Chain A
Amino acid sequence: MYVAVKGGERAIENAHRLLANARRGDQSVAEVSLDQISEQLGLAVDRVMSEGSLYDRELAALAIKQARGDLIEAIFLVRAFRATLPRFGASEPVDTGAMRVQRRVSSTFKDIPGGQILGPTFDYTHRLLDPSLAQGFVPEAPAVGEASTAPTPRVTDILGRDGLIETSPQAEDGASVGDLTREPLNFPADRDLRLQNLARGDEGFLLAMGYSTQRGYGRNHPFAGEIRFGEVEVEFAAEDVGFAVPLGSIELTECQMVNQFKGSATEAPCFTRGYGLAFGQSERKTMSMALVDRALRARELGEEVGAPAQDEEFVLSHSDNVQATGFVEHLKLPHYVDFQSELGLLRKLRKEFAEASAEANAPDAMKEAAE
């Protein structure tokens, strides 16, 4: 049991003043602006938006600045902020097929309609530190090509036309969409809740879980069918307006994992799939999410369930880094009363042990004395 403590107000106040100074660092060095964070540390902002589960670049940048670059702390701040605002409703589901793609690659087909587009990527860089970036670097203007107006259908849609891949599960009429910010998660959880959980989940945790499936703990033979990143339009059916109102666009990354096939006496074999979707340019996150989404479908697909990544309760209960850090880090708060009771119990046990030992040794002592 945790028993609260009082006191230390002055020390806490002074500690926070010291934190403010540590956050600012050497004041002869220019202060970093929110625009600088948003523009130049954009992928950190994307991660904080995804796992903070709030799309707002400026707030995410502020959170990163306030948290001194500690992204989990920043995610925590964003989650807390979100709780202060009313919810107007839910958007129409976004159409990733209509995305204005800035990047789109497939590891399964080299000739996809609309083409393979590398976009701004670390792929194929040499991972050598670049000293020219240390100061005053001005990049060459981007090359330009002829923009195509050809549609860029999802690779899974192309495979789907021939029935080579399972179709996405459709919503039943009138089915509500599960929301784990409103209702506590129960097991077994439906796919909508699993995906919501994974979309907010810690990238590192999902990366490790996804990796474990590749190493044989719940192997599901994945191919990156398609990864796409770009802008999608958001619409909101506002009751007062009476139609779907365009709200603007957001950046999303989507990963369609194409996995080992299944079939039965009654169904022709076809590829199965795992799905990843996240705010911003979050490739590692969406790839890991898709691997884990597929692993969590083991039960549904009649596969043997035994590996950690296939264990729904294990994965979904430990994916949230705000919950995880809250429980791990609470250990550093004062537990004096707890510990005193443990200490009291331990002293009692040690005393009993000493007394028992003394008694057990007593006959020997007498024997020694007799000799």
Chain B
Amino acid sequence: MFQKKANHLRRGTALILTLSLMFSLSGCGQSSSQKNTGNQVTITNVSYDPTRELYQAYNEAFTSYYKEKTGTDVEVVMSHGGSGGQARSVVEGADADVVTLALAHDITLVENAGLIESGWIDEFDKASSPYTSTIVFLVRKGNPKNIRNWDDLIKDGMDIITPDPKSSGGACWNFLAAWYYADEKFGGDEKQMKDFVAKLYDNVSVMDSGARGATTTFVENGQGDVLLAWENEALQSVKEHPDEYEIISPSISILAQPSVAIVDQNAEKDQVADVAKDYLEYLYTEDAQKIIGEYGYRPSDENILNSFSDKFDLDMKLCSIDDFGGWDKAYDTFFNDGAIFDEIYNQ
């Protein structure tokens, strides 16, 4: 009988231990309400995948700038992932103070959830886009397949790597860039444009779920002749493996404008709205714009952009999402179920 009791006790203790652990864990969440203690401020920046290195460098610069200016230590907690998914996590309750996402549309999603005040796009310069990027071709060193422009991509036997527009927002830009080129070439004849883009996607051998996966397939696994890539990612690949890859800039491409915004509701709750504003404003300073250029994004400051002219091909003709009537319209026309992408891809 004594044994029985002892066992009883042990079991009870285990249960209590478990419950108390759970509770103490929930307690950990408490610290989130202590984000501003006067001389130590923590802000969370929810960003997208390829900005890891950029913001690592930028945060260092901003931290020392802010310390000098106000004497306050800032810690910036970063979060990276696919842009759409990141916006979703903020909507679902991730505690972001600022968002720096791949496209304005993703920020609109957060705005629609009531977390960001409308009119955010005018809160910062250049439609709240402190840097831009575009789509280029990454090819193997020496350009063995002699790829110069979009026309070369539809040749027989060409092996293209690009992510799936149906799962990655970023991948839509590759499609739109090709579409815009076809539009210029065929003067708006939709049948020919569809044929052109269909041929291009016929040559895609691996369609990864996201831009990073596609880069891995091309660079690490050695698949394909050409990768349709973000300019900043292509520049990074070339920097890492200068003897293996080179960048080809097509005559026409698309201008991507990653946008930034303060998540007003969270920033006010955490009492970090001022720091958040400074954080995003600092992106436009000369120092920050130089960092931006170094990490392969195109600075929004014209003068600084021109000083990087050896890095970026400034002669490319760039269309923008407005040429497609905005993101929502583009999504409906091209990528929704049964829209143009499905139509040409499943032919």
Q: Do A and B come from one complex?
A: no
